[in-house]
Amino acid sequence: MRLESAYSHPETLRRLQAALEGKGFRIFSEIDHRAAALSVGLDMPATTVLLYGNPKGGTPLMLAAPDIALELPLRVLVREGEGGTVFVTYNPSATLEGRHELPAGMADRLASAEAVIAGAVASPAAG
């Protein structure tokens, strides 16, 4: 799923972090791909991945299907595209349905973050 953010890259990151944490999710890590590229003399547009989740929600999935841990914590990509447009991309929870022998319907437990992400990047006029 790719959404266009109404905000700059830094503001989109700030809004996503605040919105996710405000709904009980934990930001486990932030990967700044642009900084990594610059460290080896390369350049690229702002590209950041947030790893987030909630152990209360993810642990039951890992207990039911231990290999689902490869997919957790969840990730959301914030990247700057042509002309400064900022995109937010994530894999919908439905893509995990049945993966790694996850019992049917359990992936739905991860879907609540999708509305949080969409709300954080939407234009104030869209709300």
Which residues share a beta bridge with 89? 2, 77
Per-domain boundaries in the chain:
2-122
For the stretch 4-20, pLDDT in tens is 999 999 999 999 999 99
Closest CA to 59 of 68, 49, 51: 68
For the stretch 31-47, pLDDT in tens is 999 999 999 999 999 99
Helices in the chain by DSSP H: which ranges?
9-22, 33-39, 55-64, 112-121
The model's pTM is 0.93
Share of the chain above pLDDT 70, in %: 98
Residue 102 pLDDT > 80: yes
Which residues share a beta bridge with 7? none
pLDDT at 126: 61
CATH classification of 2-122 is 3.30.310.70, yes or no? yes
